[in-house]
Amino acid sequence: MSIELKIPEVGESITEVQIGDWLKAEGDAVNADEAVAVIDSEKTTFELSAPKGGRLAKILHKAGETVKVGEVIAQIEPGEDAETKKPEKPQEPKATARPESPAPKSEKKTSAGLEPREGKTTQPESDPKQRQEKESEKRKQPDSPSKEQLPAPEPKTESAPSKFTFNGEEEVVPMTMLRRTVARRLVEAQQNMAMLTTINEADLSAVQSLRKQHGEAFEKRYGVKLGLMSFFVKAAIDALKQFPELNAEIRDTNIVYRNYFDIGVAIATDRGLVVPVLRRAERTSFAELEQAIGEFAKRGREGKLKPEELAGGTFTITNGGVFGSLLSTPIINPPQTGILGLHTIQDRPVAVGGQVVIRPLMYLALTYDHRLVDGREAVLFVRRIKEAIENPARMLVEI
């Protein structure tokens, strides 16, 4: 009896998914727990594995099709795993049969003597008189039909190409369910929120000095590098405690204030932007933050993030600086009321103590929902983050 490959439960409120790609073709051998297809959902991308080893007998839904949770998308004929049962090479017997037939030799000689312009060379013309008569006939004939036949090549694309023919320059690819969901939510955020962005800049000299001073010992002890994101997560939590509106949400006609801090960290993948959440980040150490962020980034690129890891979140941080962005205005991830955008670090001249010095500076951009957060609170929030980054010790003593 064949084994049914079904779409599993993906997460709460998700009723359908999209088949992103088939990793195996019909007839291929598969092992138990081997990835067979890539599945896209509204929140994440994951690989669907074969429950048992055998052969992929039939694919019921092609890549790009939308299917419901619990629906059968393929059938597997049970059998041995591909690793334990290796098929013999089928090509060898055919190779030994070829030399027995002498036919190809004569074919090669015939085809090699053909001229591209002449269609018949099988019967040689021995009589020179006949050859002269035929040649004179050939010269006479082109004059009469040429007027009727010459216009035919004119519509060819070489002479008059059509601007509506793209010759393979365009490719139509269906949007993944993740991309469609991101697009829909971003448009909803623009339509339903009063978004405004305030910008400041932070001097990263102190953070860079700490990383240089303690980075090697930190990596030896915890097995992960001391990055920038953990500093900004801690600085954001410090600021959110001072300005709780940015950690709240509007629910109907109520404001819901949260006394916990689930910080979303935006990660760019080949299939779209995902935002895994650092749960109760206020209780997490620098090392635990760096380990969690590194693991999220790795599994995000592999398409192995779980839907529950992407759900919720009270505030989001996105870092366009890793791609070289100097300044941008990020869009809020609903129903949150704020998002902090980090940007590239640049050495720029700045006045310090009456003198011009060169410092590593980064623009900080906070986009906030003006329905709940006033401009004063937003500006002071970003300034609080700036102060925490420029003097990291204050985050340890909470002053």
Catalytic annotation present for 343: no
Q: Is the pLDDT of residue 161 over 90?
A: no
Q: Is the pLDDT of residue 126 over 60?
A: no
Q: What's the pLDDT score for residue 43?
A: 75
pLDDT, tens only, 287-343: 999 999 999 999 988 878 888 898 889 999 999 999 999 999 999 999 999 999 999
Q: What's the pLDDT score for residue 154?
A: 45
Q: What's the pLDDT score for residue 109?
A: 42
Catalytic annotation present for 370: yes
- The string of DSSP letters for 322-377 reads GGT-----PPP-TT-SEEEEE---EEEEEEETTEEEEEEEEEEEEEEETTTS-HHH
Q: What's the pLDDT score for residue 220?
A: 95
Cα distance between residue 190 and residue 206, in whole Å:
37
CATH number, domain of 244, equals 3.30.559.10
pLDDT, tens only, 241-288: 999 999 999 999 999 999 999 999 999 887 778 899 999 999 999 999
**CA gyration radius, the chain:** 34
In a domain, 132, yes or no: no
| Lowest-pLDDT choice from 13-22, 29-38, 224-233, 353-362 | 13-22
DSSP code of residue 48: E
In a domain, 89, yes or no: no
In a domain, 91, yes or no: no
In single-letter form, the type of residue at position 121 comes to T
In a domain, 312, yes or no: yes
In a domain, 150, yes or no: no
Q: What's the pLDDT score for residue 104?
A: 44
Which residues does residue 75 pair with via DSSP β-bridges, in sequence order? Answer: 4, 58
CATH number, domain of 30, equals 2.40.50.100
Cis peptide preceding 335, ω within 30 of 0:
yes
In a domain, 122, yes or no: no
Domain boundaries, position 17: 3-78
Instruction: Tell me if 364 sits within 8 A of 199, measured CB to CB.
Output: yes
In a domain, 167, yes or no: no
Q: In total, how many domains does the chain have?
A: 2
Across residues 49-68, what is the average pLDDT? 91
pLDDT-derived band at 108 (thresholds 50, 70, 90) equals: very low
Do 269 and 376 fall within a single domain? yes
Domain-ending residue, one of 51, 78, 105: 78
Do 72 and 181 fall within a single domain? no
Cα distance between residue 339 and residue 382, in whole Å:
11
Do 65 and 190 fall within a single domain? no
Length of the chain: 399
Do 205 and 65 fall within a single domain? no
Instruction: Tell me if 160 sits within 8 A of 154, measured CB to CB.
Output: yes
Instruction: Tell me if 352 sits within 8 A of 206, measured CB to CB.
Output: no
Domain-ending residue, one of 39, 61, 78: 78
Cα distance between residue 332 and residue 345, in whole Å:
23
Q: How far is CA 75 from CA 43, 56, 232, in A?
A: 26, 6, 49
Domain-ending residue, one of 60, 78, 96: 78
In a domain, 262, yes or no: yes
Do 255 and 385 fall within a single domain? yes
Q: Is the pLDDT of residue 100 over 80?
A: no
Do 319 and 202 fall within a single domain? yes
